[in-house]
Amino acid sequence: MALITSPKAEFGITPAPLMASFSSRGPNTATPGNPQASTVDNTNKPMLEESSLVEATPFSSGAGHIKKLIQNNGCLLANTFSLLDFNYPSITVPKLSSSVKVNRILKNVGSPGIYFARIRPPLGVSVSVEPNTLEFTKNGEEMRFQLTMTRDTTNVQSKYSFGELLWSDGKHNVR
């Protein structure tokens, strides 16, 4: 038996939100390359798992909406893409054996500016980005960049490791 109650808003609760322990979890066995986006709470610290109150990893949260990549008469061509090509804010490369290139599009939603890439690579992986500077001249402009991730054969990891790509103009940070 289930019980549905009216929602109730509570203010001044910290930390908030917590990562729900029952939904939007990943990766999964059907699509292990399906990345999940990480977030911070209202104290600007990493979000916590609801069930254990330990720091949530990028696998803990939902990935958001998929931007259609290839269209043919308004339909997505389902068999012509790689999960690496989805324009997710996070990137998951399962079983990186040598090197992989990943393309992304960044959209300016503010005033013009020059954004510089800062990389904190995952343990056991070297990462480069081209171009490493994006110069937006207007609101709504989109720019492409490419990440190259290469496995470090001298520092092999047996589990997922997490890194970060941060675009910053010195005032705004885009993850």
Q: Identify the residue whose tokens are 């997922």.
A: 160
Residue 37 DSSP one-character state: -
**pTM passes above 0.75:** no
pLDDT tens for the chain, 175 residues: list them: 666 676 676 777 777 666 665 554 555 444 444 443 545 677 878 777 777 788 877 666 554 333 333 444 444 444 456 778 788 888 888 788 889 999 999 999 989 999 999 999 998 899 999 999 999 999 999 999 999 999 988 777 777 888 999 999 999 888 8
Rg (CA), the chain: 18
Q: Which domains are assigned to the chain?
A: 13-83 (no CATH), 93-174 (2.60.40.2310)
CA distance linking residue 51 with residue 20, whole number of Å:
8
Asked if 47 and 38 touch (Cβ cutoff 8 Å), the reply is: yes
Smallest CA-to-CA distance from 174 within 108, 85, 102 is with 108
